[in-house]
């Protein structure tokens, strides 16, 4: 679903059958010539726990006040900070796999931080993060920070679907509905 959402943000036409879950470690998903190693950055929350807790609270509610939550506006995460987060989180994987293996992998990082959004969309000099990613040796590194997809790094050997979009913030999918859906 993460690859599907990224491709939709990138405006790449595809058939669901082209997205193939891999049994071959360290590849998580194959798409055409891309071999994705996927990582999720979800802050300090566990997947689905927040939704289950909310569902329980709604089910057990006796009055409207039991389900009200205070409004907290979303806080921006700068492009440079997101790129730095990606480089930092990929460092352990790069050390584990080594540069030779990373050179054949397309890292795709899904960032979903509670009440945070990507802004501003331009880099003010994320060269440090790119330099770190290059040192790690990845063939390409992309991030999905809904509703945007970004190709941070694409080596000359990166698949065309990725290298053609290098350095661009991608937002081709109309709205959020169906972004992850098959």
Instruction: Give the DSSP per-residue string, 35-99.
Output: EEEEEEE-TT--TTHHHHHHHHHHHH-SSGGGT-------EEE-HHHHHHHHHHHHHHHHHHH-H
CATH number of 2-44+74-170: 3.40.1540.10
> pLDDT tens across 126-136, in order?
578 999 999 99
Tens of pLDDT along 31-90? 999 999 999 998 766 666 777 888 888 899 999 988 888 888 999 999 999 999 999 999
Every domain of the chain and the residues it spans = 2-44+74-170
- Would the pTM count as exceeding 0.85? yes
Residue-averaged pLDDT of the chain: 92
């Amino acid at each position: 679903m993460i690859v599907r959402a990224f491709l939709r943000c990138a405006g790449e036409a595809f058939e669901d059958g082209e997205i193939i879950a891999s049994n071959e470690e360290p590849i998580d998903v194959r798409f055409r010539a891309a071999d994705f190693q996927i990582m999720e950055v979800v802050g300090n929350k566990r997947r689905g726990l927040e939704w289950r807790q909310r569902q329980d609270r709604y089910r057990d509610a006796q009055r409207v006040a039991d389900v009200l939550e205070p409004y907290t506006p979303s806080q921006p995460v700068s492009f440079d900070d997101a790129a730095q987060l990606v480089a930092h989180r990929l460092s352990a994987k790069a050390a584990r796999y080594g540069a030779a293996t990373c050179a054949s992998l397309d890292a795709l990082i899904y960032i979903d931080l509670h009440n945070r959004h990507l802004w501003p969309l331009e880099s003010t000099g994320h060269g440090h993060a790119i330099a770190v990613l290059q040192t790690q040796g990845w063939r390409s590194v992309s991030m999905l920070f809904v509703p945007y997809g970004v190709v941070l790094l694409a080596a000359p050997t990166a698949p065309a679907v990725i290298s053609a979009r290098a350095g661009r913030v991608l937002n081709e999918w109309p709205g959020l509905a169906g972004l992850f859906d098959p």
